[in-house]
Amino acid sequence: MKKRHYLVTGGAGFIGSHLVDRLLAAGGQVSVIDNFDPFYPASVKLKNITDHLQHPSYRLYEVDLRNYGSLETIISSQPIDVIIHLAAKAGVRPSVTNPLDYHEVNVTGTLNLLELARRYRIGQFIFASSSSIYGPAATAPFREDAPLLPISPYAATKAAGELLCHTYSHLYDLRTICLRFFTVYGARQRPDLAIHKFARLIAEGRPIQVYGDGLAERDFTFIDDILQGVLAAIDYQQSSFEIINLGESGTITVNRLIGLLEEALEKKAIVEYHPPQAGDVPLTHANIEKARQLLRYNPTTPIESGIGKFVEWFRQEQQEIK
């Protein structure tokens, strides 16, 4: 049986490195593209992929998605069955002050990959989208057919990526699956994201800055559940284009999240409240009926147990630092 070859962009990051774990364990050949963007220290990503670098079925390419020629050299030199496009310039708030870079990486980079997938006849293209594209107007829980009203450049670039995926599917018979991720967390989570950042600040006895009154609600989704959906999307063949929510389908407030971290860390948080920031939305809440139907998606990790798993990993990390 032919070994499948996967190209994973952003494969040294949080979600990407976990996905590569699964693909290699299943016997796949994996090529990873990652530019080690200085948004957070490269050492974090290098630690994520320490084991991968020793695997005979793994290749790493340090390439920027804006560099079409370098991407073509990689893709044209080897048969690739599936592209899983996770890489993006991340962060809602930074995108408000730096929209041009977000457009170039997230929109032009996605277009580069779609064009190469067309030219080199790659059968399946998975695009990591975001719950942020719904904006503040969608009725909860958010359905995939809800009107979109993105309110940050980051969210707008993800919406543009989905439209490009639809266009390439329609014109060029390229199967594209857009997965809207809802606030993913777990081991290896990026250090700038709320759960990781809050845990670190609580452990160090430093103040947490909360923008707004702490009543904003998020649909936090554990990494293992997200991977379940991504792996199912890789094998999905029933239609040529789909947009599918991947969330936990439950919400908690930021204040409740802090309380769960306090319980797991056995330490009280120091909370400082600040005015809301531009680009933030008050609520994310996934309707996952489509994912259940098309991907047999079934998230099994509620936030209460997921936080415990995250804190277990976080403590191990802190011990290694010491």
> What is the C-alpha radius of gyration for the chain, rounded to an integer number of angstroms?
19
Query: Looking at the DSSP assignment, which residues form a beta bridge with residue 203?
Result: none
Structure tokens given for 233: 């999307």
Give the 3-state secondary structure of residue 275: coil
Strand bridging mode 217-218 / 252-253: antiparallel
Preceding omega of 141 cis (within 30 degrees of 0) = yes
Q: How far apart are CA 125 and CA 149, in angstroms?
A: 25
Active site residues: 154
Q: How far apart are CA 138 and CA 11, in angstroms?
A: 31
Instruction: Please provide the size of the chain in residues.
Output: 322
> Taking the C-alpha atoms of 87, 88, 92 and 98 in order, what is their torsion angle to the nearest 10 degrees?
150
Q: Give the H/E segment covering residue 266.
A: none
Q: Which of 125, 182, 129 is nearest to 156 (CA)?
A: 129
For CA atoms 257, 260, 264, 267, the dihedral sign is: positive
